[in-house]
């Protein structure tokens, strides 16, 4: 099985994985610490996600999902930040997977250079198992259901008051453009990560990206005080959802049943999370990766965008300030994760080639794209939506006053 395992490459292709696949020999002593789960009998599938080794494992009476991280990416405390969030969400009846604990109560198990976690398989079907980020929903109906699922998650998360995560690779935080001075905040971000701080190329790309992004920060800044801190998913793509059914009718009637993979979660705000959902599902960034000289050919799925918002606001209405913040936040939200990926590629994989894709192709390339005709078209659509919502809010009291 291992010879056939492939991971998602940075251009959307399938490549050899960076991490060795899971094996039954390594899992037996790990799962012996979970006696209620029984013995592992078969590794049923291997995740194509590139940042860890993971897969679905058959036990004697059930299936579990096991993920193995290098400790430089997620040590025990790094995983516990995520697990505490998941635990809170479960107390609020959110549809997220439970993390199993050992007989001693541990959910993050360190062994040598690795850290493991064992999750239940949530209800539903992994309909987008092979889909990668930056690819669209299969239908507007899926987009609507996903929007509603994200809104429910935000309601469930609103009383979770843990502090922001510690600086780690592969976290989608929101600090640089949450600050009054994003240039100074950028320098603090880089200084806290030695592999980034030591790279002249990273510093040059960060300065270039700031030139593109500062106008969007100026647009966002008046609305920042109204954006309440919230622990958020930050990687809300269709492939991180489970769905009710597969088959020929799934595109029409499948709905989201569970949300998985909270590895990028952090304390940000609801608008930041929605912006990431737009960035992950609505914009076809892989077209820009493969043809960076033609930014206007990047597809934007406006029908899915409208459906996603309709689904979200059927559960949780956005405030006027949140609506006004969405356009600039969509342009800004990917910056810190692009830097976090560069930190991973430089500090963990020691790959300058892959890091350059993150700090130049994604940090700078995405920032530049929002000044293209296609990028402006997306942001203008978000601004128009915010304007329409403001008009409705003004009109409603007048209508009520006119009623007998």
Domains of the chain (ranges, CATH numbers): 2-11+21-120 (3.30.200.20), 140-394 (3.90.1200.10)
pLDDT at 1: 42
What pLDDT, on a 0 to 100 scale, did the predictor assign at position 130? Answer: 86
pLDDT at residue 396 in the model: 38
Closest CA to 170 of 80, 85, 271, 52: 52
More confident residue, 307 or 247: 307
Residue 389: predicted pLDDT:
59
What is the pLDDT at residue 392? Answer: 46
DSSP state of 318: P
* Cα gap 347→182, rounded to integer Å: 24
CB 332 within 8 A of CB 216: yes
SS3 69: strand
Name the average pLDDT for the chain: 93
pLDDT (0 to 100) of residue 90:
98
Which residues, 6 or more positions from 58, have their beta carbon under 8 angstroms from its beta carbon? 40, 41, 42, 43, 44
CA distances from 314 to 15, 116, 238, 386 (A): 40, 37, 19, 16
CA 82 to chain centre: 13
Mean pLDDT value across residues 85-112: 97
């Amino acid at each position: 099985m291992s010879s056939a395992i492939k991971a998602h490459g940075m251009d959307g292709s399938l490549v050899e994985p960076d991490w060795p696949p899971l094996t039954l020999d390594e899992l037996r002593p790990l799962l012996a610490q979970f006696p209620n789960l029984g013995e592992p009998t078969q590794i049923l599938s291997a995740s194509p996600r590139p940042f860890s080794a993971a897969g679905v494992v058959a036990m004697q009476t059930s299936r579990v999902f096991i993920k193995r991280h290098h400790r430089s990416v997620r040590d025990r405390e790094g995983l516990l930040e995520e697990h505490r969030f998941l635990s809170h969400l479960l107390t609020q009846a959110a549809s997220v997977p439970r993390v199993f604990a050992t007989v001693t109560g541990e959910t993050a198990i360190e062994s040598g250079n690795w850290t493991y976690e064992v999750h239940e398989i949530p209800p539903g079907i992994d309909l987008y198992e092979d889909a990668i980020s930056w690819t669209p929903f299969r239908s507007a109906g899926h987009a609507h259901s996903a929007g509603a699922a994200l809104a429910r998650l935000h309601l469930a998360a609103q009383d979770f008051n843990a502090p922001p995560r510690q600086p780690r690779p592969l976290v989608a935080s929101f600090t640089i453009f949450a600050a009054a001075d994003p240039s100074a905040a950028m320098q603090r971000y880089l200084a806290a990560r030695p592999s980034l701080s030591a790279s002249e190329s990273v510093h040059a790309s960060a300065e270039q990206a700031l030139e593109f992004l500062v106008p969007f920060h100026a647009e966002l800044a008046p609305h920042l005080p109204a954006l309440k801190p919230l622990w958020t998913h930050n990687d809300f793509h269709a492939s991180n959802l489970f769905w009710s059914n597969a088959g020929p009718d799934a595109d029409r009637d499948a709905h989201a049943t569970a949300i998985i993979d909270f590895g990028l979660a952090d304390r940000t705000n609801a608008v930041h999370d929605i912006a990431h959902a737009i960035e992950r599902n609505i914009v076809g960034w892989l077209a820009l990766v493969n043809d960076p000289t033609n930014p206007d050919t990047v597809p934007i799925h406006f029908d899915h965008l409208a459906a996603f918002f309709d689904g979200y606001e059927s559960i949780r209405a956005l405030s006027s300030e949140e609506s006004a913040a969405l356009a600039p936040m969509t342009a800004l939200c990917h910056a810190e994760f692009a830097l976090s990926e560069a930190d991973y590629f430089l500090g963990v994989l020691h790959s300058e080639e892959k890091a350059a894709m993150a700090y130049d192709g994604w940090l700078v390339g995405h920032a530049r794209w929002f000044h293209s005709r296609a990028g402006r078209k997306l942001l203008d659509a978000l601004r128009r939506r915010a304007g329409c919502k403001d008009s409705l809010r003004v009109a409603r009291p007048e209508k009520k006053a006119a009623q007998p």
